Every structure is written in C-alpha cells, then in structure tokens.
A and B are shown apart, each in its own frame.
Chain A
C-alpha cells in the first residue's frame, strides 16, 4: 500500500512541472504561435527560484522570482517574435540556448559554483495538509499532504480551461489562432493577445520551474529542465492544447517517471529507467498518429 502511495506521489510530482509548462504552452498554442521556448522558461524559472530563495531566505520569494524571471524570458520572446517579427521557431531555439547560457553564467557569477548549487538556507515549497480531506479513509494520504505546487497545478488546469473557453479573453485568444487577420480587423490587435498569452506562459513556466528546484529537491543544477519543456510540447501537440487532456498526459508522463524509479529497485540500471518518460512520449505519439490515420481513413472511406 505504501508503494502505491509512493508511486502516486511520484506521479503527481513528476507530472506537475510538465503540466504547468504545458498549460502555459496551451495559451500560446491557442493563440496560433509556435512556441518552443518552454524549456528555457522552465530553466530560468528554476534558477530564479533558487536565486530568490537564497537571498530572501523564503520559498515565497523564490516562487515570485521564478515567475518574474520566466516572464522576462517571455518578454524577450515577445520582443523578437511579436514586435520584430522574427521567425518563432528560431526565436524559441535561440531563447532556449540563451537560457542555458545565462543560467550557467549567472550560477558561476553570483554563486561562484559550477554544476549545481545546494544550500541549507534554501527553503523548499512546503507540503499542504487539507484538514477535511486528510481524514478521508483511503484517499486521505493522497488528497492531502501533497506539495503546494501540485494543488496550484490542479487549480491552474481548471482556471486555464475556464479562461480559454469561457471568457472574452479566451475567445480572442482562440480567434488569434484561427484567423489573426480577422481579429485585427475586428479591432483587437492579435499581437497584443499573443503578448498576453506569452506572459501567461512565462508565469506558468515560472511556477513549474520553481517546483523543479524548490519542490522536492532544494538545489539548482545546470540544465535542470532536462527536456521537460519538450515533453510538454509533445503533450500539447497530442491533445491539441486542451487543458483537461494536458492534465491526463502529464499524469501519464509523471507515472512513467515514477515507474522508472520503481524499476530501479528491481535492478534495472538507472539509465534505462531514466528512458521511460521519453519512451512513453514516443508511445503516446504513436497512439496519436495511429488514431489520426484511422480517423482520416474513416473519413475518406465515407459512411458505409
């Protein structure tokens, strides 16, 4: 039973950064942008979280710094892709490289360390016990007592779905994705909507990055995002950006992460268990492509 709870906890914590980044990417996806800078925003968020937590000795300052840092990255993306109309793919790649370089450089400059920074004065984001849910018989230990950011991610999923599908802003967001010229001619600049989408993406990736470095571990390591931004991109493509679907996919990847850890205790070498999330992504991509092929074949065949 404890193994199951551990597995679920591992699933939730593995899913959270991917889900937060994917939600951020969903906003830009709906706005019609090809945003691949989530990887860099996650990394910058993780670094700034450690920065804030180190200098202000508080995890709240860390989270705030993470959101600000990742939003600054988003602002750079806005400057180059929206204002200067640089190709979005190129901007994303360049910003990801910039994030790696800047965090490595600042790690060296500010903390005088290479590789990773761990420090006792870094506060971790706390776990939260919810009084009523805690006493639920079987699900109690799962529903309550998880890290704060996990609950934030769950709330963010609901909030994103509401924002995208039930508000005027969301309508304009999706309009920018369907037909930006129409939106422009209706009086709302698509560029402004896209800028907002990018800032929201930055904020969410900042939260995800803060969870990476201050969630269960309390350190920053070079290149800490380790491909999670790419996995969140895959998730967005797989479910066409729908927040509920993103939550499911993120849980799947989190599960594969946790499964990897479980397999380690079964004497499978750590490197192979580490591959599980990426293999899971490939598997999900296969299922997605197979389903699309079947749907297209059915459409072409017609009824009967």
Chain B
C-alpha cells in the first residue's frame, strides 16, 4: 500500500512538472496556475463541496472499471451504462408519483437497473455467443449515446426547451443538500463501502479477484467463472448506472444532451492510474475531480483554457503508469543498498 502511494505521488509530481513545462512554453505562469487550481478546488468550503460533488460520478465509474478489470471482464462500457442509468432515473423521476423518502431510493435503484441491464446485454452476448465484451461494450457505448439522444428529443423531450433535454424531474426526486454538501456523497460512501466490502471481504469478491489473476486456476479451484463473469458485469454496470442517476438527481435534475460526457472515460482512466486498487481509485477520483473543478477557476485567473486540464490529466496517467515500474525498481535498489550497508561485514578468512 505505501509503496504504491509513493510511486503515485512521485509520478504525479513529475507529471505536474511536465505540465508546468508545457505551460511555460506557451507563456503561462505555472505557479499561479497551480495556485489557482488549488484555490478553486480545495481552498474553501464552497469549492470543496463542488469538488466532492463532481467526484461522485468519477469515483463510481472508476470503481466500476477497477472492479471489472481486476476480476477479468473488460468492461469498457461505463459511458453507455452511465447514460442508460441516467435515463432510467430521469424517466422514473418524471412519472413515478412517490414522496421523497420513497422516490429517491426508487430512482437510485432504477439507475442501477439501467446500468446493469446495459452491461447485461454485453454479458449475455459473451455468454451465449462468445462475443468479446471488449468490443461489445464499446459498440454499446455509441448505441446508448444515440438511443438516449433519441429519447430526450423524442418521447421524453421538453417541448419548451431550446436545446435537447427532458423536463425537470419532480422535486421530490432531487437529492437534497446538507450544509452545502450534496447528499449524493452519502450514496457514494455507501456504494463504495458496499463494493469494497464485497470485493475484499466476501467470498464472491475473493473469487472475482482470483479469476482476475488467473482464470484457469480459479476454475480448477471450483469457482463458477461463467456465473461470476455475468455477476461482475451486472455489478459494475450498476455502479456506472448509479453514477448516471446521481449526476441527474444531484445536478441538473434533468437529462441534458451531453450529460456525463467525460465522466465515464475518466473513470476508466482513474482505474488505470490506480492500477485497479479500490482505495487508490477513490483517492485518484478525488484528485482528478479537484483538477477538473479548479480548472474553470484557473481559467478566470490565469487565462489558461480549462481544456488544458484534460491534457494534464492524460500526462499524469501516462507518467504515473510508466514510472510505476521504474520507480518501483529504483526504490527496490535503494532499499537493497541500504540494507546491504547496514549489515555487518563478514569477518576476513584466516
């Protein structure tokens, strides 16, 4: 655990230096830029609340990708599962006449259902026809994008709006804010705790991790890897769908065109840079959310376009992942040298 923390921090530092270099080459002031980033993401309660709220879909999609990759299935369908979950939650929020204590859990369940169903399509195609879920989830992403776009411009469109969107869901479906902080954070905490518990301390999670490391060994050891495959796909799909539902319920309270556009691929990126570790995913999710939240403010102060953050994120991912092996090897050599120096010298032969 600490080792990966060190390599991660070192990688981030190098990447920030590279980013500073890029900014200097364009005539911007890196120090002021990074300071503005910090100020607008973490410095006061307001920005902290925004950062945390933006972190919700990032962490959930990151967990979805992490659990999937660590268990075997290559689920790259988070973008599609997120929007399907968001769509299910929006439609439920428009038509279910329930009071708040019932509607909110219902919408959350609907969101999870939407994501799980969409992932289930890929799982079904894999189980029935042995179609690689890598390609299938990617194709389903585009199909889900087009489908939801049709849905919000056709049957569920808001006739009064001038851009594609649904009407707002009933107020009883809006996630309340407590002291400025979104209650979606509570949902996030519960979901993260639940998936963490299942993954690390439940038999099912143990089997998933085993299968992820060596599917043949797991099968010979008695795991039903086919059933586990489907379960993992459904669970990770549900996580991504939940993210979509939370984006709608805690944010614009309606399905807008382009909802959650970047969140899902960022989730894959977070899983990759965290090496599929669950605590790492949460931490990196918070970190990247801070970067993205601070970016808009950064633009106000230093005129660096907020899109630069996407470049910085990619640089961080590349450097952290690339350096992981190198820094780890360097740390190994350093500790070995230290231990060798500490060992007493062998007595000279007579």
Contact = CB atoms under 8 A, between A and B. Distances in A.
A302 B310 CA distance: 55
A91 B129 CA distance: 30
A100 interface: yes
A276 to B, nearest CB: 10
Contact of B131 (A94, A95, A285): A285
B318 A98 contact: yes
Interface in B113-163: 125, 129-132, 135-136, 138-143, 146-147, 149-150, 153-154
A85 B305 contact: no
A282 interface: yes
Given A84-B322, A227-B138, A285-B132, A94 B317 contact: yes
A278 B140 CA distance: 8
Nearest to B320: A94
B129 A289 contact: yes
B313 A97 contact: yes
B308 interface: yes
B310 A90 contact: no
A282 B317 CA distance: 31
B325 interface: yes
A84 B125 CA distance: 36
Contact of A104 (B140, B147, B307): B307
B16 to A, nearest CB: 16
A278 B314 contact: no
Contact of B272 (A94, A98, A104, A269): A94
Contact of A86 (B150, B269, B315, B325): B325
A216 B265 CA distance: 29
A131 B150 CA distance: 45
Contacts of A269: 150, 154
A282 B146 contact: no
Given A100-B310, A101-B311, A289-B130, A230 B135 contact: yes
Interface in A66-108: 76, 80, 84-87, 90-91, 93-95, 97-98, 100-102, 104-105, 107-108
A98 B318 CA distance: 9
Contacts of B321: 80, 86-87, 90-91, 94
A139 interface: no
Interface of B is mostly: helix
Given A282-B125, A286-B129, A271 B315 contact: no
Contact of A80 (B136, B305, B310, B318): B318
A217 interface: no
B308 A271 contact: no
Interface in B264-285: 265, 268-269, 272
B144 to A, nearest CB: 10
Interface of A: 76, 80, 84-87, 90-91, 93-95, 97-98, 100-102, 104-105, 107-109, 226-227, 230, 233-234, 237, 269, 271-272, 274-275, 278-279, 281-282, 285-286, 289-290, 292-293
22 contacts: A80-B318, A84-B325, A90-B317, A91-B321, A97-B317, A98-B314, A101-B313, A105-B311, A227-B139, A272-B146, A272-B150, A275-B146, A279-B143, A282-B125, A285-B135, A285-B136, A286-B125, A289-B129, A289-B130, A289-B131, A290-B129, A293-B129
Interface of B: 26, 125, 129-132, 135-136, 138-143, 146-147, 149-150, 153-154, 265, 268-269, 272, 305, 307-311, 313-315, 317-318, 321-322, 325-326
Given A91-B318, A285-B135, A289-B129, 5 more contacts: A76-B318, A90-B321, A97-B265, A98-B318, A285-B136
Nearest 5 pairs of A and B residues by beta carbon? A101-B310, A98-B314, A271-B150, A105-B307, A271-B146
